[in-house]
Amino acid sequence: MKKIRIAMIGAGFIADYHMRALSSLKNVEVTTICAHSLSSAQLFADKYNIKNTSDDALTLSSSPDLDGVILAIPNRLHAEYAIEFLKRGKDVFIEKPLAMDFKEGELIRKASEKSGSIIMTGHMWRFDDDVNYMRQLIKDGTFGDIIKTKGYGIHEDWGPEGWFVKKGLSGGGALIDMGVHAIDTVRFLLGDPEPISVYARLGTFFGNYDVDDSGIIIINWSNGTSSIIESGWWQPHSDGPEAATRLFGVKGYASIFPTCYKLKSDRFKETVPDLPAREDHCAQRIYDSEMTHFINCIRDRSTPRSGIEEGQVVMRITDAAYRSSETNCVITM
């Protein structure tokens, strides 16, 4: 089996999850760690016994021995870096969100289509055991038509710093950072319907920065479901952890995190499925499955489960949410 060679671009918090996942895979080699400074790259490389370091990611795009890259970098760099690697025939995994906005995402799409290289977007909850279990029940019609959902992408009494709170580097605030998890998770659970309209109220209440830290979004989907999404940093309370989702159907109710369901036919007795215990909410095994999928897509040239299309639908929704909040109008997709 051919060895797949990957470069890790970025050496921050999320890169550790991806690095641990890649390190566990056979016939996969992380050849280089690239960060904004050589010292940062070296610290990360030493942690995982990686030989090569760099502070110039774009020069790596011309490496003949490189199959793909992981982009775990500020959103502002996603499109620029992805396009350069795609032009050189490298497959690219981009941490969520796909880009700063839909327009940048389209530039990535065109580069991917022209080169034939793969784009995968880091919507990691598509690889979670609980989420996939509930998605199958929904697909089987267990809950009937899903009328409404509620989803959460909230940091309770905490918020990020650095580039996350600078609009020029991030493209947005809590919606782009946390809300996208809730949006993509519910869309995946529902079988990936298309959004038909978005209404949002976003604001900044907890910090001195130029991005949103609170939001309520209403999405109407092509399958008739309406979804409420809450996003936020520094919130005094959250009704559920990251990507927690509540689904209300004509035959019953379902919840992800905590994962359980109630059926009308069972007089709404709560059922808790026997699923693998979670060592952590954002469990390492989710990222293990995500990276395994990316590597398999490279090997067999298949379309990722969270590819350019899935990433761009989320971009369309977040773009519409920001426009809606500015204009106080419903945005039709």
Residues 182 and 35 in one domain: no
Residues 118 and 20 in one domain: yes
Residue 168 confidence (pLDDT): 97
> What is the percentage of the chain residues whose pLDDT exceeds 90?
99
Residue 35 confidence (pLDDT): 96
Domain that holds residue 268: 126-278+314-332
Residues 27 and 39 in one domain: yes
Residue 281 confidence (pLDDT): 97
Residues 152 and 61 in one domain: no
Residue 86 confidence (pLDDT): 98
pLDDT above 90: residue 195: yes
- DSSP letter (8 states) at residue 241: S
Summarised one tens digit per residue, pLDDT across range 315-327 is 999 999 999 999 9
Count Cβ neighbours within 10 Å for each residue of 294-331 and write b for 16 or more, e otherwise: bbebbeeeeebbbbbebbbbbbbbbbbbbebbeeeeeb
Summarised one tens digit per residue, pLDDT across range 238-256 is 999 999 999 999 999 999 9
Backbone dihedral angles phi then psi of residue 226, each to the nearest 5 degrees = -115, 135
d(CA 105, CA 252): 37
d(CA 321, CA 329): 10
pLDDT above 90: residue 18: yes
Residues 198 and 272 in one domain: yes
Among 274, 215, 226, 218, which residue's Cα sits nearest to residue 248?
226
pLDDT above 90: residue 129: yes
Summarised one tens digit per residue, pLDDT across range 266-293 is 999 999 999 999 989 999 999 999 999 9
Total domain count for the chain? Answer: 2
Dihedral angle sign, alpha carbons of residues 122, 123, 128, 133 = negative
- Burial zone of 40 (CB within 10 Å; 0-12 exposed, 13-18 middle, 19+ buried): middle
The reported pTM is 0.97
d(CA 241, CA 281): 8
pLDDT above 90: residue 1: no
